[in-house]
Amino acid sequence: MSNSEAQHGERVRLDKWLWAARFFKTRGLAADAIDGGKVDVNGTHAKRAKMVQVGDEVRVRQTPFEHVVHVRGLSERRGPASVAVTLYDETAESKAKRNALATQIRSMPSDDWESGRPTKRDRREIDRFRGR
């Protein structure tokens, strides 16, 4: 057994696994999400040192999406994305919900106000709309 890959019967810390499976960019972000209650293992709130094993169900909430995955493999080291995808299986229901939400978000009208102050033309349209 290599030091980087855990064997079938072994366990890995939840924060390390989430980082290795590329749900979070750093272990610190994974730990913050776990501490914030955004990660559940087998239906219960988990701590960052919770040991996950093959077959566990992990629910990860990353605003606005939620991933429900089953652990297929264990790793303590972050590798390429092609390897990270083999560490879990996402449920069909989870994929369908995420795709539906993504479609809904894309179809929503976008407000361009986030790009800064309204232009003079925008301000006049706002005034006309408000009846000034």
Dist CA 132 CA 66 (whole Å) = 44
This prediction's pTM: 0.75
Residue listed under structure tokens 């994305």? 81
Q: List Cα–Cα distances, 122 to 9, 35, 66, 116, 131, in angstroms.
A: 62, 43, 37, 12, 14
Per-residue pLDDT tens over the stretch 81-127? 999 999 999 999 999 999 999 999 888 876 655 667 888 998 999 99
Residue 108: the pLDDT is: 82
Per-residue pLDDT tens over the stretch 21-73? 999 999 999 999 999 999 999 999 999 999 999 999 999 999 899 999 999 99
Residue 2 confidence class, pLDDT cut points 50, 70, 90 = very low
Tell me the percentage of the chain whose pLDDT exceeds 90: 76
Residue 107: the pLDDT is: 87
Residue 4: the pLDDT is: 45
Domains, the chain:
1-95 (3.10.290.10)
R_g of the chain, CA atoms, integer Å: 21
